[in-house]
Amino acid sequence: PQLYVNGELVGGCDIVLEMASDGSLKETVAGAVAKSKEALHARLKALINKAPATVFIKGSRDEPRCGFSRRVVAALAETGADFETFDILEDEEVRQGLKEYSDWPTYPQLYVKGELVGGCDIILEMAADGSLKETLTAA
C-alpha cells in the first residue's frame, strides 16, 4: 500500500509505519486536513460572493428538488431581482462544508452581498413583509 496526501506520495508501508511511530504521520495528515479546510473555505467564500444574491438549494432555479427550495425560488423570483442558484446536490463538499462555514444546518441558504440572510422560514417571512425585495434590490 501507498499513502497519498493531497495528491503527493508520502510513502509505502515501511515509511508510513516509521512516521506513525515518530509522530510525523499525524502532523502530515493534520496539516493536509487544515490546508484542505482552508481551500474549501476559500471556495465557499468565492461561491457566496459570485453574485450579489446567491441561494444554495436542492436542485436548480428551473427544477427545485424539494418543497423548501421551490418556495424560496418562488419568493425570490416574485421580487423580480436577479439571483444565482447553486445546486448542493451536485457537490457534497459544498453541501457539508457550507453548513459548518455558515453555522446554519439546513438548506436553502440565501446570501446577499456575501452575508447569510437565512433559510426558508426567514426568506418567506421577509417576502411577506416586503423586506426581501428591499434586501435584494439593495444588493
User: 78-123: per-residue pLDDT in tens?
Assistant: 999 999 999 999 999 999 999 999 999 999 999 999 999 999 999 9
Looking at the chain, list the stretches that DSSP marks H as alpha helix, in order from N- to C-terminal side: 13-22, 24-48, 67-79, 92-102, 120-129, 131-138
What cell numbers appear for 36 in the block?
A: 484542505
Determine the distance from the C-alpha atom of residue 134 to the mean position of all C-alpha atoms in its chain, rounded to a whole number: 25
Give how far Cα 50 sits from Cα of 25, 27, 46, Å: 37, 34, 6
Whole-prediction pTM value? Answer: 0.79
Q: How far apart are CA 51 and CA 85, in angstroms?
A: 9
- Mind listing the pLDDT tens digit for each residue in 39-66? 899 999 999 999 999 999 999 999 999 9
